[in-house]
């Protein structure tokens, strides 16, 4: 165990780091299982021996370099890509081989160099098989030092730049460069390529690693011949000195503890980006919902304003009634109509025939037109709101632009919620009935009119209620007519009686008109508000969804920031 060979202070630091990694693991499990698995692997390998991971393109000379470094043929060499799995070479009394996880094989060899380090051979990074690249990238976060092997005949490729950029920026790993197969070129070419590599690293990746020109075949021949000078010329001893320097007790503990922290910080940065991405997606959606809310409120106000144009024919019906009634009274309350004025029943009959007949039906038709218009408008409001919600929320941009680090579960939950809201709204719209909408407006107006006029609600409708209310005026007119007939001896009183009848009629008509219009306006306003409220109620579940997800996303981001600060402080305490 690593704890058995480390000083007490190092063991304490190791335990503290393990606790920190376990906290990050618990946190990562709450937002992305893939990120959690990365941290889980870091914890599992925290007590492994020092991991020296060798990467490079296919046929760059990785296996030959490992064999030269270990002094034995530990890795097969050949003209074709031979490594399709990660091979972890570790010390063991006997040679063994077994898979420790998918695509990872642990091989033990009785090689002294492996007592203080494990050497890891990886598949080539430019292999035609894409899984080779992925296998290598999946293992790299565990590395303590990465040896990048590149051939002198093809020293740097775009694939190398992308891979090493991740190693350096994302995983924060120590990188050393091995320039292999230098025996194939002259000393001048070798120096030029070394300068090229350092310059390219500095310009493209922002740092300059140590570069070790190496001839693996020269090292093998030198060891076979026992030629120390030739071995030094091979470049392998320089690599060994670099490794020993980095494996010295203090440096080794520092690297061992620092190594996982780059990956952990990357996990936390991705968690922070996930929270930010989720908030951005939610804000885009919520803006769409707010637009629906504003649209519903505006539509209700607009309905009330535009309803006046629809209600004006109802008022016109009363104006026509008033005009006919006044004309009737002016014509009938005269001396030449003495018999009519003396006959209350006949006067009433003629008045109803010439003035009132058909008023109820006319009012009913006009109020029905208002109710029908309002029903069409409320349906249109529903339809517009549903289409707007579906366009700006349910089909929002997050479907195409996955939030950084966003998990599939979050998007599926969000989509399921939005789809359910839209489905329910469509169901309600499908069950919408123009007839029932009209009936509700009429009933509401009838009840309001009955209250305003102080009469019983008339089942036959608003027109009947209006005519019933006008009956009071009619009775008054009959009384005036009878009084006029009785007072014929004083014919000079007749004009006053006529004016009195006209005023009483006008008052009755206008009171009934005002009551009916108030009832219709009230019904329109109530229905407009009810429709707007119904629309908001239909989509209100999204507000609750948004709030819960917003709080969760903010908590995720804040927790990631908090833990990132904690990890960075721990990392700063380890650095020299």
Q: Are residues 233 and 279 in the same domain?
A: no
Q: Are residues 502 and 401 in the same domain?
A: yes
Average pLDDT over residues 124-133: 70
1 assigned to some structural domain = no
Q: Are residues 91 and 134 in the same domain?
A: yes
Average pLDDT over residues 399-427: 52
Q: Are residues 405 and 363 in the same domain?
A: yes
What pLDDT is stored for residue 388 in this prediction?
Answer: 72
pLDDT tier at 559 (50, 70, 90 boundaries)? very high
550 versus 493: the higher-pLDDT residue is: 550
Domain count, the chain: 2
Q: Of 389-403, 425-439, 459-473, 484-498, which range is least confident?
A: 389-403
Q: Residues 159-187, buried b or exposed e (16+ Cβ, 10 A)? A: ebeebbeebbebbbbbbbbbbbbbbebee
197 assigned to some structural domain = yes
Q: What is the mean pLDDT of the chain?
A: 78
Residue-wise pLDDT for 183-226, tens only, equals 888 888 899 999 999 999 999 999 999 999 999 999 999 988 88
What pLDDT is stored for residue 1 in this prediction?
Answer: 33
Residue-wise pLDDT for 233-264, tens only, equals 999 999 998 888 877 767 777 777 888 888 88
Q: Are residues 239 and 285 in the same domain?
A: no
What pLDDT is stored for residue 463 in this prediction?
Answer: 66
What DSSP string describes 106-156?
Answer: EEEE--GGGGS-EEEE---TT-SSHHHHHHHHHHGGG-SEEEEEEETTB--
Asked which of 229, 247, 265 is the last residue of a domain, the reply is 247
Token pair for residue 62? 């990785």
Q: Are residues 104 and 230 in the same domain?
A: yes
Q: Are residues 323 and 222 in the same domain?
A: no
202 assigned to some structural domain = yes
What pLDDT is stored for residue 276 in this prediction?
Answer: 87
Q: Are residues 75 and 174 in the same domain?
A: yes
What pLDDT is stored for residue 502 in this prediction?
Answer: 81
Q: Are residues 243 and 288 in the same domain?
A: no
Residues 6+ apart with CB under 8 A from 236: 68, 69, 214, 216, 219
Q: Are residues 63 and 106 in the same domain?
A: yes
Residue-wise pLDDT for 263-276, tens only, equals 889 889 988 988 88
What pLDDT is stored for residue 3 in this prediction?
Answer: 40
523 assigned to some structural domain = yes
Pairing of strands 118-121, 86-91: antiparallel
Average pLDDT over residues 497-511: 80
10 assigned to some structural domain = no
339 assigned to some structural domain = yes
- Alpha carbons 363 and 372: distance in angstroms, whole number: 14
Q: Are residues 218 and 289 in the same domain?
A: no
Give rounded-to-5 percent helix, strand, coil for the chain: 75, 10, 20
pLDDT of 482 over the 60 cut: no
Q: Are residues 330 and 438 in the same domain?
A: yes
Asked which of 203, 227, 247 is the last residue of a domain, the reply is 247
Asked which of 232, 247, 262 is the last residue of a domain, the reply is 247
Q: CATH no. for residue 161? A: 3.40.50.300
283 assigned to some structural domain = yes
Domain housing 240: 49-247
């Amino acid at each position: 165990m690593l704890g058995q060979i480390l000083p007490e202070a190092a063991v304490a630091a190791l335990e503290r780091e393990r606790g920190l990694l376990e906290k990050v693991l618990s946190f990562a499990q709450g937002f992305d299982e893939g990120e959690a698995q990365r941290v889980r692997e870091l914890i599992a390998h925290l007590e492994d021996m020092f991991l020296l991971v060798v990467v490079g393109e296919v046929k760059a000379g990785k296996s030959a370099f490992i064999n030269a470094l270990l002094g034995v043929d530990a890795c097969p060499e050949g003209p074709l890509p031979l490594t399709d799995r990660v091979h972890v070479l570790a010390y063991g009394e006997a040679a063994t081989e077994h898979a420790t996880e998918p695509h990872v094989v642990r091989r033990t060899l009785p090689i002294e160099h492996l007592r203080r380090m494990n050497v890891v051979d990886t598949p080539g990074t430019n292999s035609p098989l894409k899984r080779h690249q992925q296998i290598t990238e999946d293992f790299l976060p565990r590395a303590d030092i990465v040896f990048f092997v590149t051939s002198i005949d093809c020293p740097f490729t775009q694939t190398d730049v992308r891979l090493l950029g991740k190693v350096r920026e994302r995983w924060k790993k120590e990188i050393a460069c091995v320039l292999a197969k230098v025996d194939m070129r002259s000393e001048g070419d070798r120096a030029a390529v070394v300068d090229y590599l350092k310059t390219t690293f500095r310009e493209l990746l922002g740092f300059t690693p140590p570069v070790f020109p190496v001839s693996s075949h020269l090292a093998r021949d030198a060891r076979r011949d026992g030629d120390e000078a030739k071995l030094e010329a091979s470049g392998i001893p320089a690599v060994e000195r670099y490794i020993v320097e980095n494996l010295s007790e203090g440096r080794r503990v520092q690297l061992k503890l620092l190594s996982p922290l780059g990956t952990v910080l990357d996990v936390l940065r991705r968690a922070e980006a996930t929270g930010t991405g989720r908030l951005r997606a939610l804000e885009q959606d919520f803006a769409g919902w707010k637009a629906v809310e504003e649209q519903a409120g505006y539509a209700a106000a607009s309905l009330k304003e535009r309803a006046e144009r629809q209600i004006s024919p109802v008022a016109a019906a009363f104006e026509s009634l008033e005009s006919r009634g006044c004309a009737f009274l002016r014509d009938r309350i005269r001396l030449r109509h003495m018999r009519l004025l003396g006959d209350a029943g006949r006067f009433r009959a003629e008045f109803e025939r010439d003035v009132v007949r058909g008023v109820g039906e006319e009012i009913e038709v006009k109020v029905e037109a208002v109710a029908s218009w309002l029903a069409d408008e409320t349906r249109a409001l529903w339809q517009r709101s549903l289409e707007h919600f579906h366009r700006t929320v349910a089909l929002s941009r997050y479907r195409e632009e996955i939030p950084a680090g966003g998990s599939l579960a979050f998007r599926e939950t969000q989509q399921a919620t939005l789809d359910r809201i839209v489905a329910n709204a469509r169901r309600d719209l499908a069950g919408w009935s123009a007839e029932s909408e009209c009936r509700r407006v009429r009933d509401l107006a009838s009840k309001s009119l009955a209250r305003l006029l102080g009469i019983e609600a008339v089942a036959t409708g608003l027109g009947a209620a209006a005519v019933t209310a006008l009956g009071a005026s009619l009775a008054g007119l009959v009384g005036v007519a009878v009084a006029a007939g009785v007072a014929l001896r004083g014919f000079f009183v007749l004009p006053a009686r006529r004016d009195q009848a006209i005023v009483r009629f006008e008052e009755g008509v206008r009171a009934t008109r005002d009551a009916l219009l108030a009832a219709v306006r009230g019904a329109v306003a109530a229905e407009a508000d009810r429709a707007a409220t119904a629309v908001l109620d239909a989509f209100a579940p999204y507000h609750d969804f948004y709030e819960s997800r917003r709080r969760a996303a903010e908590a995720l981001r804040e927790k990631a920031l908090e833990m990132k600060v904690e990890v960075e402080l721990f990392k700063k305490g380890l650095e020299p």
